[in-house]
């Protein structure tokens, strides 16, 4: 859920007090909105916590009176979202009274349930006994999604990834499309969460709410990856591909940065691999302005060329093996 929010694909409104969604966003930050001032101070994407957050006790709506008379911004935000988008209720198979009130109010305001979907394992098979029948009696059968929340989110994530990658296929010629399909085949061996986390992690300067998967530089990166490794490879640890030519890691900049920033990011990640005893990957990069300067080659060892007394131990000066996506595609 957090990864789709970072991609700008979904908004989340929750009645939960915990911080599970924000904490699952990895190295990026998902701000929360728990009061009216947050709406003015925080930039989307945000997690709308209509009943407050446990990390900010003063925002919690916990008493019967609090829940019966929520702040105006809670009612406005709930109604606005239920009236302006496809709304999917997840994890609310049994509707708690404090949630029921928000849902009933919003549906009454909108006057329709056409844009509502409900995910609950038994909602299709046991509709007559579902609490949703009383709340939304006109909910169409095809809008009752009888799967678990985990299964639904996996399918939603997969659909989103498939749609974004299809956009790249429509903008490249037949020859490049074959290479793109090879890279897609490799990605589709992983689950949707792994692919979403990987796509956000390879961007050296991601912006929450802006899609990495949709960017043209990401599309170019996939074409280069497919050209280099074909359809054989496996995504490992959300970062590196195990391939027939050895480990391959990719980096992209969806923002305007100098080319040296991509090379520096490759060097930093190379240090991380070496410190863990992992092999050095080949880096493919996409984006960046300016030429990619060739680093000076360092000798593999100076031990045989110097006296022991002259050698001082220190950190390795590592030079990453970096190729640009344009050069790989043209090769």
| Minimum mean pLDDT range among 135-139, 182-186, 260-264 | 135-139
Position 95 scores a pLDDT of: 76
pLDDT band at 311 (very low <50, low <70, confident <90, very high): low
93-102 pLDDT, tens digit each: 777 776 777 7
Q: How far apart are CA 157 and CA 193, in angstroms?
A: 7
| SS3 assignment, position 227 | helix
| C-alpha to C-alpha distance for 190 and 115, rounded to whole angstroms | 31
For 68-93, write each residue's pLDDT tens digit: 777 888 878 877 777 677 889 898 87
- Checking if the pLDDT of 257 tops 90, the result is yes
Percent of the chain with pLDDT over 90: 56
Per-residue confidence (pLDDT) for residue 8, from 0 to 100: 94
The pTM of the full predicted model, rounded to 2 decimals, is 0.87
CA dist., res. 43 & res. 32, Å (int): 10
């Amino acid at each position: 859920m957090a990864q789709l929010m970072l991609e700008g694909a979904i908004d989340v409104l929750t009645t939960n007090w915990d911080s599970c969604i924000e904490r699952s966003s990895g190295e990026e930050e998902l701000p929360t909105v728990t009061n009216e001032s947050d709406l003015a101070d925080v930039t989307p994407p945000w997690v709308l916590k209509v009943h407050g957050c446990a990390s900010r006790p003063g925002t919690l709506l916990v008493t019967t009176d609090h829940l019966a008379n929520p702040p105006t911004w809670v009612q406005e935000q709930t109604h606005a979202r239920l009236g302006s988008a496809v709304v999917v209720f997840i994890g609310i198979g049994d509707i708690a009274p404090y949630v029921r009130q928000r849902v009933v109010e919003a549906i009454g305001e909108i006057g329709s349930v056409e844009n509502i979907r409900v995910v609950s394992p038994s909602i299709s098979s046991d509709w007559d006994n579902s609490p949703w029948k009383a709340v939304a009696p006109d909910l169409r059968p095809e809008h009752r999604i009888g799967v678990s929340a985990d299964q639904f989110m996996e399918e939603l994530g997969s659909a989103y990834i498939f749609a974004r990658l299809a956009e790249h296929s429509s903008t490249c010629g037949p020859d490049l499309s074959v290479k793109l399909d090879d890279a897609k085949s490799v990605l589709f061996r992983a689950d949707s969460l792994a692919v979403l986390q990987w796509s956000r992690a390879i961007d050296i300067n991601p912006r929450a709410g802006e899609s990495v998967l949709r960017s043209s530089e990401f599309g170019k990166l996939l074409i280069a990856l497919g050209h280099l490794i074909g359809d054989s490879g496996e995504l490992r640890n959300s970062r590196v591909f195990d391939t027939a030519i050895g480990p391959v890691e990719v980096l992209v900049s969806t923002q305007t940065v100098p080319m040296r920033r991509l090379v520096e990011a490759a060097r930093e990640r190379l240090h991380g691999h070496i410190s863990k005893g992992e092999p050095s990957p080949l880096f493919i990069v996409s984006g960046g302005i300016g030429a990619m300067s060739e680093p000076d080659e360092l000798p593999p060892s100076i031990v045989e060329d110097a006296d022991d007394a002259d050698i001082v131990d220190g950190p390795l000066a590592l030079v990453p093996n970096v190729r640009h996506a344009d050069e790989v595609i043209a090769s």
